[in-house]
Amino acid sequence: MKFNTKVIHAGVEPDSATGAIMTPIYQTSTYVQQEIGKHKGYEYSRTGNPTRAALESSIAQLENGKYGACFGSGLAAIDCVIKMLKPGDQVISTNDLYGGSYRIFKTIFEKYGIEFHFVDMLNVDNVKAKINDNTKLIWIETPTNPMMNIIDIKAIANLVQGSDVIVGVDNTFATPYLQTPLDLGADIVMHSVTKFLGGHSDVVMGALVTKDDTIAEEIYRIQNSSGAVCGPMDSFLVLRGIKTLHLRVQRHSENGKVIAEFLQSHPLVDMVYWPGFESHPNHNVAKSQMSGFGGMVSFTLKGDSLDKAKKIVSKTKLFTLAESLGGVESLIGHPSTMTHASIPREERLKSGVKDSLIRLSVGVEDASDLVKDLENSFL
């Protein structure tokens, strides 16, 4: 099946009891068993729920994977991955990382004896230099949040091919419509389903996908044991959202290009970070591993004024000032005081997260209205 067909049909079958074309919301905590050890495939909804199972299958197929697992949030999914490690293990990740990922690494798992290295992954040699016998996980974001850096998934996966090092990729910004990391050699794909997969700013959820039988067994063990699962109603909402993923991401990408080009020509803007520009670092990598460049755009202001940044984000009308991204509506945010505030300022500055950096999640509205909204915010 082609992708545009997958989003409609993958993982979804008519209900066997009624013929309902949409997967029912199985709002139940437990299931009747015919006798001890004999049931219809479900025992308890923490372990498995038919609505969630349909969603897990759908996301797995969209990522060209074999196994999918959904969680109560994107961070709960990351939590599951790190719980696969043990004290003394080491993780290599990018120095331009979502603040929530950095926070869970540094404030939760570091005190349990897991060591984290944050490097500039634009240069694969920086990753190679940190690999040692204790390296057990390489955690990639691409495009990165919020600097929109592009990391070469295939090149990094090749560094550890044949070893026991797991390569995980946060594919939230790209979505499987634009990028499928498992096809590039990754072992695990993570999504904050809250974002583009859900697409309507009404669900908080995370997901993991893999092809590997052993990794999948461990993911399901931790998912069931820790219990950070999503509910059936949220699963239903995401199943519905996925049916328009291809249409939405196509429009996000088209609008993102218009906004990025407008910002690049604006006299008050210093730098624009969008991987579709030929001048963008690793643009050629983006072209090779992505089918488009998405609707996430970041930019800085000349003079790097925090006050000017605050003024702009408070004046927009269509770009709503809010956390999160990936919904049909356009959002505007200030990473250093919002999504990345948990990262020490000196660390933020090293990766380019300046005080004037503004991040846009470009929605699916009319592009000309969005341009006018930003124009007015600069006045």
**What's the CA gap between 169 and 146, in Å, rounded?**
16
Contacts of residue 324, Cβ cutoff 8 Å, sequence gap at least 6:
194, 195, 201, 331, 361
State the DSSP H helix or E strand holding residue 58, giving kind and residue range, or none if neither.
helix 50-62
**What's the CA gap between 85 and 134, in Å, rounded?**
11
Least Cα distance to 332 among 313, 308, 356 occurs for 313
Active site residues: 46, 98, 170, 195
CB 178 within 8 Å of CB 290 = yes
**What's the CA gap between 212 and 217, in Å, rounded?**
9
29: left (phi over 0), alpha (psi -120 to 50) or beta: alpha
DSSP string of 200-261, one letter each residue: SS----EEEEES-HHHHHHHHHHHHHH--PPPHHHHHHHHHHHTTHHHHHHHHHHHHHHHHH
